[in-house]
Structures are given as structure tokens and as C-alpha cells.
Structure 1
Amino acid sequence: MLQELSIKNFAIIDQISVSFEKGLTVLTGETGAGKSIIIDALHLLVGGRGSAEFVRHGENKAEIEGLFFLEENHPCYGRSAEFGIDIEEGMIILRREIASSGKSVCRVNGKLVTISTLREIGGTLIDIHGQHEHQELMDESIHLSLLDQYGSTEIAPALQNYKDIFKQYDATLKKIKQLKLNEQEMVQRLDLLQFQLNEIRHAELKINEDESLADERRQLGNFEKIFASLKAGYEGLQGEQHGLDYISHTISHLETAADLDKQYEHVLESVANSYYLLEEAADRLRNELDSLEFDPERLNVIEERLNEINQLKRKYGSTVSEILEYSSKIEEEIEMLINRDARIGELESKLSSLEEDLVLEGTNLSFLRKKWAGKLTTAIHRELKELYMDKTVFEPVFGKDSENNPNFAKDGLDDVVFYLSTNPGEPLKPLSKVASGGELSRMMLALKTIFSKHQGITSIIFDEVDTGVSGRVAQAIAEKIYQVSKFSQVLCISHLPQVAAMADTHLLISKEAVSGRTRTSLKILGKKEKISEIARMISGVEITDLTIKHAKELLDITYTKKLT
């Protein structure tokens, strides 16, 4: 859930910080007070398009920050991990800054990210629905995914099985198309690959050869320094400086002391052990000095070999391993091109087998989709009835006979479009062609009521989706929004007293002029203040004893409905 939101220097907001609770939070206020500005800020926080126009006049930058608490197994964990972002103690902080120059800086848990990354992560946290967001229902391309989402418990595994086979099918089809290119292109491609393979083979590369040569070059390049250092070390022990002789004399004196007093034996033992170790080290240094030999010709050979390897790296890979992998890859392609006809036959046989598997998996997927389409139809009709659209008929329509006329696509064999009839006796037509704006709003709310149980979105935001309705429809919409809030935190901007009365938390947005500047503020309303605000929403102009009475009555009715 969205725990806390902080906004600074954004539009007419100078600075606000507000904490949110679970359940339904309703934001109300006079027109122009800044309700939609709050939604604009949230939209930017989760990766929306920014602009310098959002920065408060006279300020250098706008700042938006949100703290979210996540439940276990929330999809945000997996999405954040993809981008290398750690989530500790179930908390994630999104932050966005927009400079007056238009430059945008995004952070997730303190890590700088791109806007697209912020959008990917933010999409798992907040789902924003504005007055026109229901227009997405007009896009028939999303209807199939909505159905799959509804029946995900059975459809998702079947869809994954289908996708696994389709991936092989698609790769095989591409190979066949590549092999069926015209003869001239094939010959040219074969010549190029054979030239590349011969060049790599001629080099006779060995794994990690470049690293070994670089180490050897480094040693030869530092030969004089290494030799001088080893020689000085040896001289210090065995040469004119007589390091070991001094220690030997020391041992003699300590032996005398130990003979006179046993307590000095441990000192003698330590020095004697050190002497033997240093003596052994001196022998090793002498052997190393005897074996060191500078070969300037070897250095030239190494340089030439490294240059040859670097030339190959520029063409075929950044490491020797990548070059050898590329070699294996083109060797396979050469074999395939040389035996093109036989290879095409093998691939076409494989493709035919995969097509049979796709038909089986696709048919099973279609069966499950039709099963869940029936369940979705029943659920939608139930929700629409409660929204006073009980005469409306809804049906997901499958476009073609996918079993007998399969059209292999990445999501299966089906085309699904939502059809609707809003008046008795009228035929079913595509939803996009028959639904009015108000009907689409209620259809969207019906779908959201159903899908909120499955989506796992942390927060759902409704921005005046109840515009243009009143009476019993307004009450039905209020109850639907409250139902959604049982499964996800809901933030709702509304002008309807019925929706405000349903709120678990009621925030009043207002604006005032301070020192010649407009400033927006947020206030959490107590019970009495909530009654007054609902009375204002009812009356529209003047709060009277009667509107106060109506507000109290509406709250009492709402309280009873919440308990049922």
C-alpha cells in the first residue's frame, strides 16, 4: 500500500506530506483546489511523462516521493530484482525530481534508474483510472489478456505450455525462411562464413590465451625491476650485508642466555625458526635469480600474438571464449547451408510436428478460455446488475474456428472481443461501438471489481470516474468502489457525497492565497468535519440544518451497508 506521499514545488503545491491508510481514501474539495494535481504527481511518480510546466513558478525543481509497503510475494519484488534493486523489510521508495529545465531524475530505493525502469516498477504498485481511462476498454487487443487474467489459475499454465512450443515453432520457421533465401544470397553468405571460420581456425586460439600472454608481457616488461628487487633481497640475506650472519650471531648469544636461564628458551626458539625460514627463502631467491633470463625476442612474439588476437576480437567477440563460440556457431550454419536441401526437409518435418503440438495445446487453451469466458460473463452480469445495468448483455466473442483453422500467434489460436447489448432486443455488437461514456465507466468499474481480487496491485486510484452520474447509480458506484478497496488500497477523487460517505479516510483538499501565492493543502477530516464536507457536497452552495441532517443520514446508511 501507499504509506506516505511527499510533494514539493509541484504546480500550485509548495509542500505537502500525507500518510495514507488501508481501505478507501476519498479526496474531495472545491473545483480547482488541486485534487487532480495530486493524481498528476502520483502519475509522474510511477513513470508518467514529465514536463518543466509541472515545476512551481519561481522554483528550480519539483520533488515527489512515495513510500510503499509490500506484502510477501508481491510482483514488485520480482520486477525490482530484474533491475538489481533490493527491497528490504517490505518497503520501497520511489522518488522523482523534475528540474525547471525539464530534466528528470528518478530513483528507486535510492538507486538511479531510467524513466522506463521507474514505469516498470511503478506499474506493479499503482493502477490509475481517470475520467477517460475507461477508454482502454475500446482497445479490442487487450480483451484477450483480460480474459486470461480472470482465468489465470487454469489459463496461465496452459498458455505457458503453448508459448514454450510456439517459441520453438517460431525459431524453426525463421531458419526455414533463412535457408530459402535466393541462391545468390546463399552463396555470398557461405563464402563470408567460410572466410571467417578459416581466419579463426588459422589463429589456433586457446582459452584464456590472451590473459596468459598479457601476464607474461607484463613480467618481461618489468624484468629489470624484478631482477634488481630479487637481487637486493638476496644480498640483504646472504650478500655483503650479512643479514643471516647477524641472525646467526644473535642465536649464539641467545643460546648462552638460555643455558643460564630457561625462561629465554622460547625467545631462542622463535629466532632460530625465523633463521631457518629466512635461509630457505634465500635459497629460493638464489634459484629464481639463476633461472631469470630476459628474452627480447619473446617479447616481440607476444606483442605480435596479442595484436593478432585483438584483430579477431574487433570482428568476432570481446574475449577469446566469445570468438570460439562464434566459430562454433558459424560452423553449424555453414554445415546447414552446404546441406541446405536436406536441412530444409528436416526443419519442415520438425515444423509439422510442432504445428501438431501447437494445435493440441492451442485447442486445450481455447477450451479453458471458453470455460472462463462463461464464468466472466456471469460475473460481469452480476456486477452490472448491481450498477443498474441489469438489461445489459455482455459476452466475450471468439472470432474464428481456431481448431479447424488454426492461426498460430504467440498468445494462442484465439481472437476475443467483448460484445455488448445495452438495450433489450438489440443485437450484440462490439463494446467499442455501442457503449456510451457512462456505460463504459460502469463497465470498467465492474471489471475492476472482479480483477482487483487477482491483480495484486498495491494501490488503485480512481480520478472522478463517477462524473455525470447521480441517484441510485451514484450509490451503486460508491458501493463498487468500496468493494474494490477490500482487496486493494483505493484512493478516489470524487464529487459524489455517496462516495465520500463510503470513505474509511476522508481527505479535504483546499487552496488559499499566502503572501500573494496560491497554496494547496490537505487535511484529514474528523467525524464532524466529514459531516460538514458531505453536507457541502449535497447542497453545492450553502450548508443548512437540512443538508447536515441528510449528510448524517447518508453516513448512517453507508455504515450499515459496510457491515453487510
Structure 2
Amino acid sequence: MLTSLSIKNYALIDNLHVDFNNGFSIITGETGAGKSILLGGLSLILGKRADLSSLKDDSKKCIIEAVFNVSNYNLRSIFEVEDLDYDEQTIIRREILPSGKSRAFVNDSPVNLSNLQVLGEKLVDIHSQHQTLQIISNDFQFQVIDALANNQKERDNYALELRQYKKLNKELNELLSFQSNAIKEHDYNSFLLNELVEANLVEGEHEILEQEYETLNNIEDIKERLAESYHVLSDEQVGIITNLTLLKNNFQKLSSMSSKYEELHNRINSSLIDLDDLLSEIDESQNNLEADPQRLDEVNAKLQLLNNLMLKHTSSSVSELISIRDSLSEKVSVTENLDETIKEKREAISGKQQILDEISKEIHNKRSLAIPKLKRELEDILIELGMPNAQFKIEINLGDDYFSNGKDELTFLFTANKGGSFNELKKAASGGELSRIMLAIKSILSNYIQLPTIMFDEIDTGVSGEISNKMGDIMLQMSKTMQVFSITHLPQIAAKGHSHFRVYKEDIAGVTSTKLLKLNHDERVVEIAQMLGGMNISSSAMAHAKELLN
């Protein structure tokens, strides 16, 4: 519910703050006093686009702030979806800057207009004779029927299954599209894959083969240099090991004379051990080294194959070729298994359709039971609202398409005259009749679901005193379960409110401002008496006003 509203520097309003109670609140005032300004300010809170011309003083910013108690509205999920901070006392603030820019905040967090509009729809419903498009909406008509049918659980389940059904259909279409393109590429990808598979790729193989190729290709030169190296080390006359052995023996004799010589002896001995190992390795290398022209050809062929594959796939290593091979393998595998995957997806879609059909049938059955009740209640209320011949023809048929709220196709027809032909609401009802039909529907809805704050803006225009009295009774009844405002010119309705506010203009220092005053009991008597008889209040008007209030 709306608990308070503050408006600064908007249109004819300098600074206005008002607190509201639950129940039925009345707003009255002379034509042109500024009731539309009040609604305009509230509309900005609900996400309407701002207009720089609405600033009273264009050198200052306009600030409009509203506080809502949302504890009974189950809006936590809406706040989460819109990424807003949830608070049971939610504050919405709108600022229009002199530059023309507009800012909006929900619980002090900046938001855009789309956030405000989504939230605003759940908080306030402003309804006038010129705003009856909702009633002719198929979605709204289903909402009314489902409220009486208590279909919320079924609709939630249906919506969940429908999202999954649409997701599966999207995935199937993507698979079919992929299959169409993949078939064209499959043969080429298979050819490339077979090339890479037949190459028997091994991580690091290219570097190993290059080393083996260098060895096999230069084997005679390698043998010659190894033999020469072996001779340099092992020759009995001038070999390094022979001379180092002599050097070792000399320092072995000297080592007993000085620790310095002993250290040199140890170093020479260590070098001699390393050279003996080196000689053994050179000898082993000579023994293991053999020319192998066949192996040389094999290594050369494999290197040529790897080089050609790397050039073909613009890669720089066997490791990259292996990654390409694995990727091609996956593509080919997916393509080859695609028929099975598509079959499984179609089976999942078929299963989801069965679930949707079952839920849709349940929704349809409950709607079918609720429609006669809705028709009866609507026609009964409209009789009281001066439309004794109003009749509805409401029919639903279970179709084949999956709509957002089930599979039903709805026909919602109306006639205001006895013997008249049934037609769509927008064609069969006048503006005033649509307004009364909307009031009847909202009053019925208020008995079944928690509605947002509703503001009726002069929907009683042009109705008689007797009918207006009944309209007031309906609004009063609605206010038992929700917050209701009525902007009215009729005293019969104004007298039924729990709270009464008067909009008026005041001239201060040659400047006109719009004010809003909450009336006490005596002030209400005067206001209603003026609504009955004009500014010159008669004693009979005062008596009538008191009678209406009592």
C-alpha cells in the first residue's frame, strides 16, 4: 500500500507531503484544482517519462518520493529479478534536474525506467474512463478467470514446463541447423582426421626425429670424430689419460710432503676418473653407431609428413596437430552421432508436450467451472450499477498451440442491451460502460487475489446518484482487502471514504500553488455540502451531508 507521498517543485506544487492509511481514501476538489497534477506526480514514481516543463521553478530540481508497504505483495522475486534491494518499506524516489535529465531510485539504489515500470505495475493501478484498455486484453481476461479458478499453482507449473519446452525446441533447431552445415563438412573433416590419425602423432616426436635424422645422415663424420677423440684420450704415448696418470703418480709422491700437494693430487685423480668415464661413453657410442640407410629413409619420410601436416594446418608443433586431430575427431563424432542426439531431443520434446497437455487440460477444466460463476457475479454487479440488461458470453476452447497461460482460446463477448448481438468489449461497450465493467471485475478480483493499490480517477462521471451510491459501496467493500483511492465529484461516493483529502489552489504573493489537505469530520461535512449545493451552503445541504456521512 501507498503510505506516503512527497512532491517538491512539480507543476503547481511547491512542497507537498501527505500520509495515507489503508482502506478507502477519497480525493475531491474543484475542477482545475490540481487533482491531475497529483496523479501526474504519482505516475512519475511508476515509471512515466519525465518532462522538463513540469518543473515549477526550472532552476531547481523536482523531487517526488513515495513510500510503499509491500509486505503483503509477495514481491521479493520481482526485486531479485530486477536486481533491487528488497525492503518491506520500499522507498521510490524520482528526480528531474533543471538540465532535463531524470534519475530514479528504489531504496536508494539507482534504477532505470523499465525497472520502475515493472515494479510500478505491482504497486499502483490508476484507472479512469480513458484507461480501460486492460479490460479488453486477452491476458487480463484470463487473469480474471484464473483468479476465480484458483489456477495460480497450475499456471506456475505450466510456465516452468513451457520454458523448458521452448528451450528444448531451441536446442533441436540448433542441432538441425548444425546438422545441415555439418553434413557438408563431414567428408572433408573425415579426410583431414584420417590423415592425422594415420600419422600416429606422438607428443615431442618431431624434435626426436630431427635429432635422429642428423645422426643417421652424418654417421661417417661422427664415427671419425669419435675415433679421433678416443685416440686423443687413450693413446699409450701421448694420450691425455696416459699423461694425466703420470701427473697423478708424481703428485701422489708429493702429497705426503704438503697438504697443498695432496689437494692437487685429489683434483687430478678426480679429473682422471671423469676422463675414464668419458672414454667409456665414447667407446660405447662407437660400438653402437652403425649406418642404417633404411632407417634414415624412414625418419626422413616421417619428418616430411609431419612438416607437410604442420604447413597444411598452419601449426608449429606436433602438439598443435594433436589438438587439431582431437577437435576434428569430436566434430566427426558429433556429426556421426547427430541423428541419435536429434532423436533423443525429439523424444524429450514429446515428453514435455505430454506434461504440458496434462497441465493445460487441468487449467481448462478449472476455468470451465469458474466461468459461469464469473459471468453470474459480473452480471449481478452490473445490474446494481445501472446495466440491467448486461450479458456476457464467455467461452474457452482447448486448442493446439501452447500459449503463455495454457492452450485455451478465449472468446469474451458482451452485450449491454436485451436482445442485442454479442460483440467484443471494445466494440459493444461505451467508455462509461467499460468503466463500470472494470469496477465490477476489480471488485470480484479483490475477493480472490491481493491486488495493488487502485486509484479510480473520476470513473463515476455521468452516473446518477443512485448508481454512484452503489459504486461507492463496491469501492468500500474492496477496501476491506486492499487500499482504494477514488478521485470523485460525487458526494455519495465521497461520504463513504475512511479518509478524505481535498485538493485546492492557494495564491501566495501572486503565485498559485496546489495544496492537499486531509479533512477532519467537520471539514468533510462542509466539503460534501459544497459538493451537494455549491459554495453557498444551505442548511439542507449541511443536513444532507451529515446524513451521508452517518
Shift of 1:333: 8.2
CA RMSD of aligned residues (A): 3.1
Measure the CA separation in 2 of the matches of 1:333 and 1:472: 78
Please point out which of 544, 547, 558 is paired with 2:541. Answer: 547
Question: Is structure 2 residue 169 aligned with structure 1 residue 170?
Answer: no
Query: Helix, strand or coil: the match of 1:15?
Result: strand
Which residue number corresponds to residue 22 of structure 1?
A: 22
Which residue number corresponds to residue 344 of structure 1?
A: 342
Specify the code of the residue in structure 2 equivalent to 1:174: K
8 Å Cα contact 2:165/2:349 also seen in 1: yes
Measure the CA separation in 1 of the matches of 2:452 and 2:477: 15
8 Å Cα contact 2:502/2:516 also seen in 1: yes
Which residue number corresponds to residue 181 of structure 2?
A: 185
Measure the CA separation in 2 of the matches of 1:329 and 1:516: 82
8 Å Cα contact 1:143/1:417 also seen in 2: no
Question: Is structure 2 residue 480 aligned with structure 1 residue 472?
Answer: no
TM-superposition CA deviations, 1:230-264 (whole Å, max 9, x none): xxxxxxxxxxxxxxxxxxxxxxxxxxxxxxxxxxx
Measure the CA separation in 1 of the matches of 2:77 and 2:502: 36
Using the size of structure 1 for normalisation, the TM-score is 0.68
Measure the CA separation in 2 of the matches of 1:17 and 1:329: 68
8 Å Cα contact 1:462/1:493 also seen in 2: yes
Which residue number corresponds to residue 153 of structure 2?
A: 157
Which residue number corresponds to residue 436 of structure 1?
A: 430
Measure the CA separation in 2 of the matches of 1:472 and 1:390: 14
Question: Is structure 2 residue 138 aligned with structure 1 residue 144?
Answer: no
Question: Is structure 2 residue 93 aligned with structure 1 residue 99?
Answer: no
Using the size of structure 2 for normalisation, the TM-score is 0.70
TM-superposition CA deviations, 1:36-72 (whole Å, max 9, x none): 111111111122222112211433211111122233x
Once the two structures are overlaid, the 10-residue window that deviates more, 454-463 or 529-538, is 454-463
8 Å Cα contact 2:179/2:335 also seen in 1: no
Query: Helix, strand or coil: the match of 1:391?
Result: coil
Shift of 1:496: 0.8
Which residue number corresponds to residue 75 of structure 2?
A: 76
Specify the code of the residue in structure 1 equivalent to 2:463: V
Please point out which of 506, 525, 538 is paired with 1:512. Answer: 506
Measure the CA separation in 2 of the matches of 1:531 and 1:413: 54
Measure the CA separation in 2 of the matches of 1:103 and 1:83: 22
TM-superposition CA deviations, 1:347-400 (whole Å, max 9, x none): 3333333333332222222111111222222222232233232321123222x4
8 Å Cα contact 1:148/1:156 also seen in 2: yes
Measure the CA separation in 1 of the matches of 2:5 and 2:529: 28
Query: Helix, strand or coil: the match of 1:358?
Result: helix
Query: Helix, strand or coil: the match of 1:340?
Result: helix
Measure the CA separation in 1 of the matches of 2:137 and 2:158: 24
TM-superposition CA deviations, 1:496-545 (whole Å, max 9, x none): 11111111111111102212211111112122221111111112453222
Measure the CA separation in 2 of the matches of 1:505 and 1:408: 47
TM-superposition CA deviations, 1:7-31 (whole Å, max 9, x none): 1000010111111122111111111
Pairing 1:445-464 to 2, within 5 Å after superposition: 445-464=439-458
Query: Helix, strand or coil: the match of 1:133?
Result: coil
8 Å Cα contact 1:536/1:543 also seen in 2: yes
Measure the CA separation in 1 of the matches of 2:49 and 2:63: 15
Query: Helix, strand or coil: the match of 2:523?
Result: helix
Specify the code of the residue in structure 1 equivalent to 2:130: H
User: Structure 2 vs 1, CA of residues 396 and 523 (structure 1 numbering), >3 Å: closer, same or farther?
Assistant: same
8 Å Cα contact 1:464/1:492 also seen in 2: yes
Shift of 1:178: 3.2
Which residue number corresponds to residue 126 of structure 2?
A: 128
Measure the CA separation in 1 of the matches of 2:185 and 2:99: 50
Measure the CA separation in 2 of the matches of 1:148 and 1:136: 16
Measure the CA separation in 2 of the matches of 1:170 and 1:503: 49
8 Å Cα contact 1:460/1:490 also seen in 2: yes
Measure the CA separation in 2 of the matches of 1:333 and 1:489: 62
Question: Is structure 2 residue 530 aligned with structure 1 residue 536?
Answer: yes
Which residue number corresponds to residue 229 of structure 2?
A: none
Which residue number corresponds to residue 521 of structure 2?
A: 527
Question: Is structure 2 residue 112 aligned with structure 1 residue 114?
Answer: yes
User: Structure 2 vs 1, CA of residues 386 and 343 (structure 1 numbering), >3 Å: closer, same or farther?
Assistant: same
User: Structure 2 vs 1, CA of residues 470 and 11 (structure 1 numbering), >3 Å: closer, same or farther?
Assistant: same
Query: Helix, strand or coil: the match of 1:413?
Result: strand
8 Å Cα contact 2:85/2:109 also seen in 1: no
Pairing 1:474-493 to 2, within 5 Å after superposition: 474-493=468-487
Query: Helix, strand or coil: the match of 2:459?
Result: coil
Which residue number corresponds to residue 409 of structure 2?
A: 415
Question: Is structure 2 residue 66 aligned with structure 1 residue 66?
Answer: yes
Measure the CA separation in 1 of the matches of 2:80 and 2:177: 42
Which residue number corresponds to residue 2 of structure 2?
A: 2
Measure the CA separation in 2 of the matches of 1:340 and 1:25: 65
Specify the code of the residue in structure 2 equivalent to 1:31: T
Specify the code of the residue in structure 2 equivalent to 1:514: I
Specify the code of the residue in structure 2 equivalent to 1:356: Q
Shift of 1:188: 6.7
Measure the CA separation in 2 of the matches of 1:505 and 1:335: 74
Measure the CA separation in 1 of the matches of 2:46 and 2:116: 6
Shift of 1:334: 6.9
Measure the CA separation in 2 of the matches of 1:190 and 1:377: 62
Runs of 4+ in 1 over 4 A off after TM superposition: 187-195, 328-336
Measure the CA separation in 1 of the matches of 2:90 and 2:331: 48
Query: Helix, strand or coil: the match of 1:63?
Result: strand
Query: Helix, strand or coil: the match of 2:64?
Result: strand
